[in-house]
């Protein structure tokens, strides 16, 4: 669900061949990007304004004839989303940047790209800052409507409105540690471990085109559109190593019957080219069990069962901690504090390794619980991305 905290961009055309960045938060330095014939090439260690440039490049590449005539811009940015905290500050900036670029280049907004097209495009443009994300953040930021949550499916992108129980309230708490997923390989490593697990299982099933399998969802479709629960059984059957044992690079090459060059091309990404160990079974078990919890969560919402919602959130955090290994002591301690204070459930949110915990509680218990917790903000489902033009359409 979308939160009330936001990223704001005030933008205007410039007669200079540059993008001039200003931020009201002075810890984010002013910057001038000179527009040249060659589009910004991307980076793996992004500065704050380069998230904007990632979206800017992505939009220009998709607008006919626009790459040859990008317009200058003056930009003032401000955000109320805590940075590097797992609540999508970077994705919010990328989405806002894409819509800003469309508006400056064309004088239009969602007539050029629908909100769904904007969501899919911005998910891909984050690759220019070295993050191979899945697109959930961008989808909800673009598609959310006030008062409802969304169940999001991919390939193709689909979304289903979900009404939360009327007594459900979410508290977001910061664990005290920050983590910028764009500056480490942690997140990308999990992506490739899931990919390799899917490719090995595809190979074992007799698929000749295992290189085309990119996700565990692709694998489930390949095996006959199996459910997440059925796929969990497949993981247990096909990945025979215990969860506490990694696969070596050499073992994977042998199983896939491939060479180093093809392995790098079809399985890895820029931040994982040198990895030698891969934790495949536990990553795949996490993804499929988490997918099953999504459907169970939706069903519990239909039944108005907030207690069950809390149990599912607790199971989710345990899986993030033990199988996906994207938690940290600070996050675990914050989850425990929430549960001891009387919350029904709590889990890390975002990529992990720092940032925020989201906790579920019954609204009627809010006053008692907030006495024991340092809540960063309370949240209910909010509106997604919006744009306003001034009278001169500049």
CA atoms within 13 A on the CB side of 5: 19
**Which active-site residues does the annotation give?**
137
- Residue 215 CB contacts under 8 Å (≥ 6 apart), including other chains: 155, 194, 195, 198
Could you tell me the CA-to-CA distances from 56 to 109, 221, 288 in Å, in that order? 14, 34, 34
Could you tell me the CA-to-CA distances from 238 to 152, 183, 198, 215, 319 in Å, in that order? 28, 34, 10, 16, 20
Positive/negative CA dihedral, 194, 195, 197, 201? positive
CA 86 to CA 257: how far, in whole Å? Answer: 38
Contact between 222 and 202 (Cβ < 8 Å): yes
Nearest CA among 40, 65, 72, 43 for reference residue 53: 40
In degrees and rounded to multiples of 5, residue 185 shows phi and psi of -95, 0
């Amino acid at each position: 669900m979308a939160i009330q905290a936001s990223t704001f961009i005030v933008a205007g055309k410039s007669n200079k061949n540059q993008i001039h960045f200003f931020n009201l938060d002075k810890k984010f330095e002013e910057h001038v990007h000179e527009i040249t014939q060659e589009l910004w090439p991307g980076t793996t260690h992004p500065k704050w304004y380069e998230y904007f440039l990632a979206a800017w490049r992505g939009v220009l590449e998709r607008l006919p004839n626009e790459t040859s005539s990008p317009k200058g811009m003056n930009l003032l940015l401000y955000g109320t989303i805590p940075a590097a905290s797992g609540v999508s500050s970077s994705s919010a900036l990328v989405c806002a940047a894409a819509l800003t670029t469309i508006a400056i280049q064309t004088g239009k907004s969602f007539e050029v790209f629908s909100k769904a097209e904007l969501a899919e495009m911005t998910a891909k443009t984050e690759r220019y800052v070295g993050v191979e994300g899945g697109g959930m953040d961008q989808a909800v930021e673009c598609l959310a409507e006030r008062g409802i949550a969304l169940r999001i499916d991919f390939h193709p992108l689909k979304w289903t409105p979900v009404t939360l129980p009327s007594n459900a309230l979410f508290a977001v708490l910061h664990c005290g540690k920050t983590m910028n997923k764009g500056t480490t390989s942690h997140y990308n490593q999990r992506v490739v471990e899931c990919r390799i697990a899917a490719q090995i299982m595809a190979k074992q099933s007799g698929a000749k085109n295992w290189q085309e399998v990119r996700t565990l969802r692709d694998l489930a479709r390949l095996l006959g559109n199996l459910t997440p629960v059925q796929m969990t059984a497949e993981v247990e059957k096909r990945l025979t190593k215990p969860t506490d044992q990694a696969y070596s690079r050499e073992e994977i090459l042998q199983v896939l019957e491939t060479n180093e060059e093809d392995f790098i091309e079809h399985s890895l990404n820029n931040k994982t080219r040198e990895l030698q160990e891969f934790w495949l079974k536990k990553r795949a078990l996490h993804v499929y069990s988490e997918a099953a919890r999504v459907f169970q969560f939706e069903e519990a919402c239909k039944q108005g069962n907030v207690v069950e919602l809390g149990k599912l959130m607790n199971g989710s955090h345990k899986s993030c901690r033990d199988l996906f290994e994207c938690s940290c002591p600070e996050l675990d301690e914050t989850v425990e504090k929430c549960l001891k204070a009387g919350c029904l459930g709590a889990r890390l949110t975002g990529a992990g390794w720092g940032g925020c915990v989201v906790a579920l509680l019954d609204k009627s218990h809010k006053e008692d619980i907030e006495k024991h917790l340092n809540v960063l903000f309370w949240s209910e489902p909010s509106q997604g991305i919006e744009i306003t033009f001034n009278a001169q359409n500049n």
